Amino acid sequence: MKKIIFVLALSIGTMTAFAQEEVTEQATETAVEATETIDEANVVASQDSFSEIAAEELPEAVTEAVSKNYPTASIDKAFINESNQYKLEVSLEDGTAGTLYADENGNWIEM
């Protein structure tokens, strides 16, 4: 009887863990959509501490990471924050566009 109750408790705990993960993914997708909308409107939010810089000012490690991982990408805009993290607005040859985040060593960051 104790084993059945223990298995039941573990099963319920596992189900709630999956439910929380799904909610987090939905919240992340919503946040990404909101960020893309803001970027498209070229509105700088007061929370966004990134300042625009010229693409030529990017460290070589960052530009190499873009060319290595996204060979058909071109950097449209570049931004930097106080922590030397870079926000890159890139577009691919097929017309798709996106935003990438990297540190000063060319390591990708998830924001």
pLDDT at 86: 96
Residue 84: closest CA among 65, 101, 103: 103
Asked if residue 104 lies in contact with residue 86, where contact means CB atoms within 8 angstroms, the answer is yes
pLDDT at 42: 38
**Encoding tokens for residue 87?**
């926000």
pLDDT at 111: 78
Work out the widest C-alpha separation in the chain, in whole angstroms: 69
Asked if residue 51 lies in contact with residue 66, where contact means CB atoms within 8 angstroms, the answer is no
pLDDT at 67: 94
Asked if residue 78 lies in contact with residue 55, where contact means CB atoms within 8 angstroms, the answer is yes
pLDDT digit string (tens) for 3-48?
A: 666 555 666 666 655 555 555 555 556 555 655 544 544 334 334 6
Dihedral pair phi/psi, residue 17, rounded to 5°:
-65, -40
Q: Which residue has the higher pLDDT, 55 or 4?
A: 55
Residue 71 predicted with pLDDT over 90: yes
**Encoding tokens for residue 16?**
């709630």
pTM, entire model: 0.56
